[in-house]
Amino acid sequence: MKVIHDLKEYPESLRNTVATLGNFDGVHKGHQKIFQALLDEAAACSAQALVVTFFPHPLKVLAPLQAPKAITTLEERLRLVQACGIPLVLCLPFTPDLARVSPQDFVRETLVGTLGVRKILVGEDFRFGRDRQGDIGLLRAMGKKLGFGVRKIRPLRLDGEQVSSTRIRQLIQEGRVRESARLLGRYYAFDGTVVRGEGRGRTLGIPTANLETPSELLPPKGVYAVLVRLGDRRLPGVANLGTKPTFSGRAFAIEVHLFDFDGDLYGQSLRMEFVDRLRDERRFETVQELVEQMGRDLEEARARLDPKRLPLVEGR
């Protein structure tokens, strides 16, 4: 997949396009539906399928305190877009200057002038341009004058629920990771690097790896059944997100215990997929009570991670 980050570097040879525009945070099933429609339309038009996205999220520039936490990093977003078969992405830096561009100028100068769009696919609530003045109606009116078509893609609904980044973000923040997987089409996950911790898990007989992650969005404190990607392996385990209140801890930490694993993980990169939430984090009166509960957590996680019980998601 070719990724272009500067509009000035967009090649003349790629001006014949069918395009879709959006943030596509999470690259969920609704986005995947749009991408498949994009590929189909581009093939029918003998044109280049193009995804136009923005980074950072516009609200991080316009109203930082109101900006949502990203479900995926930009790197992960692009990887997921590529996994959908998209051949070309234009990732535009969202800046105050771009925010001031009128929707009419954006259509004329960028979509038509630079990208040479023949058709645009957008969701029904799509807005763009200065003060979000542009919508699908404006696109259609300008398309009649400038010679491009517009197709509205209706939102995807699963069991009566609309699939959206906002809904998925809410589910993850509530710890309902099993439900979020149904809308994402995969388990919610983030990447992290193993760093040195206090080593307490090993003294308790349940060694853990401590993770640092650049991810903005984390599930709430608690214990989770997880799958961890280590190189080309996918290992089951249990993760704890929290402050270790039994030991009067205050600093937030992400720890994961991998089943039947013995090795040095320090400095390695892991990808942790959240399959299900087991319980809240809580303080125990004694260390022995904690160890006994951890044993029950391991047993419950093994049961929930049994391949026969796992939700049918892609796990990209």
Pairing type for strands 48-55 and 17-21 reads parallel
d(CA 190, CA 228): 10
d(CA 4, CA 232): 29
Q: Give residue 42's Cα distance to chain centre.
A: 25
d(CA 76, CA 81): 9
Is residue 255 among the annotated active site residues?
Answer: yes
List the structure tokens of 315.
Answer: 């796990």
Q: 5 to each of 53, 93, 270, how far by Cα in Å?
A: 10, 7, 27
Q: What is the CA radius of gyration of the chain?
A: 23
Q: 254 to each of 70, 197, 258, 279, how far by Cα in Å?
A: 18, 10, 13, 15
* Catalytic residue of the set 255, 285, 289, 299: 255
Question: Which amino acid, one-letter code, is at 206?
Answer: I
Tell me the catalytic residues.
255
